[in-house]
Amino acid sequence: MKDRYSRQTLFKPIGEEGQRKIGQKHVLIVGCGALGSPNAENLVRAGIGKLTIIDRDYVEVSNLQRQQLFTEKDAIDQMPKAIAAKKRLTAINSSVQIKAHVMDATSQSLTPLLEDVDLVIDATDNFDIRFLMNDLLQKVAIPWIFGSCVGSTGMSYTILPKETPCLQCLLDTIPVSGATCDSVGIISPAVQMVVAHQSTEVLKLLVEDEDALRTRLVTFDLWNNHYQTVNVERAKKRECPTCGVEPIYTYLTYEAQTKMEILCGRNTVQIRPNREVYLEELADRLQKIGPVKRNGFLLSMEYQSCRIVFFHDGRALIHGTNSIEKAKSVYYQLVG
């Protein structure tokens, strides 16, 4: 196996010394779907020392179009993504220490896993978790690579605590559409483009070549031939509650978290988000998925054997399940 990484070590910015450093590092990937599975494969093939994967979901047939670690059998067996990924990754490189956790990412569940982590890859599918990660990783000073994609578009940015603008700073400057893969779809090359940017930045950090890091936000639309890098240095705010001079880490507080509860005897889960949901805008997006019913107070639709009702105050009722995990999955697929 001596020559396993020979082509990588021939690349001068990595070399033998860089390869040694890669083999000593620990990366945590939050989410093992479209972005998480190829990032994990890239790192395992590159010889990462230790990889931890967190994912709360299981493999479905609709994942196979873009989530490259999984097979039809994984979908038939409804294998948890983290477990299916670990099995495949171990077959690719048995020398990598891989930990797989089938769980939701919360401040309580993430904190114990960060003890010896060198950096984190964002491969999540919603901004509730991203904002939580943003606060937590700023607090413990661990760098992370933000990434998102939908349709033919994507973006990525490298966040270094105490140095760069954080996600909170960025999203006060960069608009986010709120579109989801379930409402507008996604093409695999858009995923691969984001992964290419994320994995490359990870390698730079692993070999400790911070001078080579990309300091700009990358955005692109492959279908419409747009590619842009944005200088966001001025986005950093002294008063930012996450990375400012007096951080308060709002998203780590109970009040800022999305609340979920099973309604007794109703086969229903209620979700109370930590942000406003605009029904008119939401209705326009959901109509691309299926029929939407509206009145002056709420909107509702049928989706994945559930009936979902959204209210003006932001609440949502997911009828047809007592599973908080399923309700969250349905909610984030629809709302983003």
The domain in which residue 64 lies consists of: 6-252
Quote the tokens at residue 330: 């349905």
Quote the tokens at residue 63: 């994942």
CATH number of the CATH domain containing 272: 3.30.310.10
257 - beta bridge partners?
none
Asked whether the beta carbons of 212 and 13 are under 8 A apart, the reply is yes
Q: What distance in Å separates the CA atoms of residue 47 and residue 24, rounded to the nearest whole number?
A: 9
Q: What distance in Å separates the CA atoms of residue 76 and residue 13, rounded to the nearest whole number?
A: 43
Domain ends where: 252, 270, 289? 252
According to the model, what pLDDT value does residue 181 have?
79
Distances (CA, A) of 130 to 61, 77, 297, 319: 26, 29, 30, 27
One domain, residues 147 and 284: no
According to the model, what pLDDT value does residue 231 have?
95
One domain, residues 217 and 83: yes
Q: For residue 121, is it within any domain?
A: yes
Q: What distance in Å separates the CA atoms of residue 336 and residue 334, rounded to the nearest whole number?
A: 6
Q: For residue 1, is it within any domain?
A: no
CATH number of the CATH domain containing 64: 3.40.50.720
Quote the tokens at residue 77: 């067996």
One domain, residues 111 and 179: yes
According to the model, what pLDDT value does residue 137 have?
97
Q: What distance in Å separates the CA atoms of residue 283 and residue 71, rounded to the nearest whole number?
A: 34
SS3 of 33, please?
A: coil
One domain, residues 63 and 201: yes
According to the model, what pLDDT value does residue 175 have?
61
One domain, residues 270 and 237: no
Residue 96 is given by DSSP the state S
Domain ends where: 226, 252, 278? 252
One domain, residues 162 and 246: yes
Q: For residue 23, is it within any domain?
A: yes
Low-confidence stretches of the chain (pLDDT < 50) are none
DSSP-derived secondary structure for 274-324: SS---HHHHHHHHTTTS--EE-SSEEEEEETTEEEEEETTS-EEEET---H
Distances (CA, A) of 211 to 122, 171, 207, 232, 318: 22, 25, 11, 17, 48
Q: For residue 43, is it within any domain?
A: yes
Quote the tokens at residue 333: 């697929």
One domain, residues 227 and 280: no
Residues 6+ apart with CB under 8 A from 25: 48, 49, 50, 118, 119, 206
Domain ends where: 252, 284, 303? 252
One domain, residues 306 and 175: no
Q: For residue 183, is it within any domain?
A: yes
According to the model, what pLDDT value does residue 143 have?
98
Q: For residue 265, is it within any domain?
A: yes
> For 190-236, what is each residue's pLDDT tens digit?
999 999 999 999 999 999 999 999 999 999 999 999 999 999 999 99
One domain, residues 276 and 147: no
One domain, residues 124 and 268: no
* Of the candidates 303, 294, 300, 67, the residue with the CA atom closest to the CA atom of residue 183: 303
Q: What is the number of other CB atoms lying within 10 angstroms of the CB of residue 79?
A: 18
Q: What is the pTM of this model?
A: 0.82
Q: What distance in Å separates the CA atoms of residue 269 and residue 267, rounded to the nearest whole number?
A: 7
Q: For residue 87, is it within any domain?
A: yes
Q: What is the number of other CB atoms lying within 10 angstroms of the CB of residue 317?
A: 19
Domain total for the chain?
A: 2
Torsion of CA 299, 303, 308, 312, to 10 degrees: -40
According to the model, what pLDDT value does residue 28 have?
98
Asked whether the beta carbons of 49 and 19 are under 8 A apart, the reply is no
Q: For residue 209, is it within any domain?
A: yes
Quote the tokens at residue 41: 């494969």
One domain, residues 115 and 135: yes
One domain, residues 107 and 127: yes
